[in-house]
Amino acid sequence: MGIKDILDNPNSIFCLLNREEKEELEQHISLAHYKKNEFVFKEGDRPTGFMMLVSGKVKIFKEGVGGREQIIRMARPLGIIGYRALFAEENHIASAVTIEESMICTISPDFVLNKALKNNHFSLNIIRKLSKELGFSNARTVTLTQKHIRGRLAESLLLLKDKYGFEHDGTTLKVYLSREDIANLSNMTTSNAIRTLSTFANEKVIAIDGRKIKILDSNRLDRISKLG
């Protein structure tokens, strides 16, 4: 995918810029390839620009007590990452790491702050994205502190389904996370994640093949999530 494809894609936030802004943006944008498990930015880093995931998948996580990670967000292609710190004029409060080979475009802060935000449609979309992210974070805070282990894990699997969808078979999640990542997404220990996944498999709610997870009964998984 080239820069013009990114700018003109109807699902990209940059499609909201006018022709002149897009032409100028091309002088302020760069593309970078990342290998699997490579840091995009680290907690405490100063933002280097406005970033959008072009291809691949990225996890955003914060390190907690004892070095344990808590995954707070998962990004998919055309998702923007790290922009909160840029607009807040703060260092990043979380880290971003690729979970598969990825490509990310970065736009210079000067262009975004001095040019792009003058476009009302672009600015409103940024506000909406920040607001949705805040709402998601608030909801996840309740989930991760009040739901039991089964409910937390069920919600995480549904979150991955909604974020990345299925493979062509219509049941296999289109993302392959380690058991540790699934645990860090669900606020539980890795051993608890392994046991609960095995329980779901015995109950025929899911099927497991290495890192591949098939959702066999979405309705039951949703009930487990809601019951907490």
String of DSSP letters for the chain: --HHHHHH-TTSGGGGS-HHHHHHHTTSEEEEEE-TT-EEE-TTPPP-SEEEEEES-EEEEEE-GGG-EEEEEEE-TT-EESHHHHHHT---SSEEEESS-EEEEEE-HHHHHHTGGGSHHHHHHHHHHHHHHHHHHHHHHHHHHHS-HHHHHHHHHHHHHHHH-B-TTSSBBS----HHHHHHHHTS-HHHHHHHHHHHHHTTSEEEETTEEEES-HHHHHHHHHH-
Does 179 lie in the same domain as 136? no
Does 163 lie in the same domain as 138? no
Which CATH number does the domain housing residue 116 bear?
2.60.120.10
Does 152 lie in the same domain as 126? no
Does 50 lie in the same domain as 36? yes
| Per-residue pLDDT band at 48 (split at 50, 70, 90) | very high
Question: Which of 120, 143, 166 is the last residue before a domain boundary?
Answer: 143
Given a cut of 70, whether residue 215 has pLDDT beyond it is yes
Does 109 lie in the same domain as 206? no
Does 164 lie in the same domain as 177? yes
Which CATH number does the domain housing residue 195 bear?
1.10.10.10
Does 119 lie in the same domain as 18? yes
Does 137 lie in the same domain as 66? yes
Residue 103: per-residue pLDDT: 96
Does 204 lie in the same domain as 131? no
Question: pLDDT tens digits for 173-208?
Answer: 999 999 999 999 999 999 999 999 999 999 999 999
Does 129 lie in the same domain as 153? no
Q: What is the domain extent for residue 210?
A: 148-227
Q: Tell me the average pLDDT of the chain.
A: 93
Percentage, residues of the chain above pLDDT 90 = 83
Question: pLDDT tens digits for 124-181?
Answer: 999 999 999 999 999 998 888 889 999 999 999 999 999 999 999 999 999 999 999 9
Question: Which of 143, 174, 208 is the last residue before a domain boundary?
Answer: 143
Does 201 lie in the same domain as 102? no
| Per-residue pLDDT band at 1 (split at 50, 70, 90) | low
Question: Which of 143, 170, 197 is the last residue before a domain boundary?
Answer: 143
Does 219 lie in the same domain as 170? yes
Number of domains comprising the chain: 2
Given a cut of 70, whether residue 14 has pLDDT beyond it is yes
Mean pLDDT of the 34-63 span: 96
